Copies of this chain bind each other. A is one copy, B any other.
Amino acid sequence: MPYNSFTSIIELLGTIAFTISGVFAAMQKRLDLFGVLIMGFVTAIGGGTIRDVLIGVTPVSWMLDLTTLGVIITTGIITVLFKKTVKNLKVTLFFFDALGLGLFTVIGMQKGVAKNLHPVICVALGTITGCFGGVIRDILLNQIPMIFRRKEIYATACIIGGVIYWLSLVWLDERLAQTIAVIVICTIRIVAVKLNWKLPAV
């Protein structure tokens, strides 16, 4: 399988996982059907949209290709219709979500590189891409964003993965560095949840 299709598939899985996370959060707050679909949508595209706006890549990515919108709406409707079945896929969804986090972060970094931004800023962009969909979801649902209060290793995984990506580039080619970064982020996230790692409260 060529590298690009591989990336696209993982990105698709990430989009699906992020959409479902938004849909479930919205159903918990008893929104109506439209609200639930919109919440799935902003969770999936929010991070990338903020990134694109901040670096001036407009129209933002989801406007240039109907695939993303189609995947999100389909996922949203299926999730609403089969909510019990989807809920049972909890572990599967968690893996998609971790994979999506890793890949969204790497995609975000690449967009920064394409704009000739400093590596540190690229890591910030990657983290924004991976995390800020969930931030917008939580703001719209009127709660303090989860990544700031759950003391979980989430954004931290993106930052570590981003740094490792840049360090790898010294010895390895770009594709390999990207693959390593995705694996690192994904692994940190999964291990952190399994072992219940937390950031210190201050």
Residues of chain A touching chain B, judged by Cβ–Cβ distance below 8 Å, are 26-27, 29-36, 38-39, 49, 53-56, 58-60, 63-64, 66, 69, 80, 83, 115, 117-118, 120-121, 124-125, 135, 139-145, 147-151, 155-156, 198-202
Contact = CB atoms under 8 A, between A and B. Distances in A.
Contacts of A59: 54-56, 115, 117, 121
Contacts of A135: 140
A200 B143 CA distance: 24
A145 B137 CA distance: 12
Contact of A148 (B35, B80, B83): B35
Instruction: Give how many copies assemble into the complex.
Output: 3
A32 B117 contact: no
A58 B156 CA distance: 26
A156 B34 contact: yes
- Sorted from nearest, which 9 A-B pairs have the closest CB atoms? A56-B58, A35-B148, A32-B199, A32-B151, A55-B59, A31-B148, A142-B144, A63-B121, A80-B202
Contact of A144 (B29, B34, B66, B201): B29
A32 B202 contact: yes
Contacts of A139: 139-140
A199 B33 contact: yes
13 contacts: A26-B148, A27-B202, A29-B149, A32-B150, A32-B198, A32-B202, A35-B149, A49-B54, A54-B60, A55-B63, A63-B117, A63-B118, A141-B144
A147 to B, nearest CB: 7
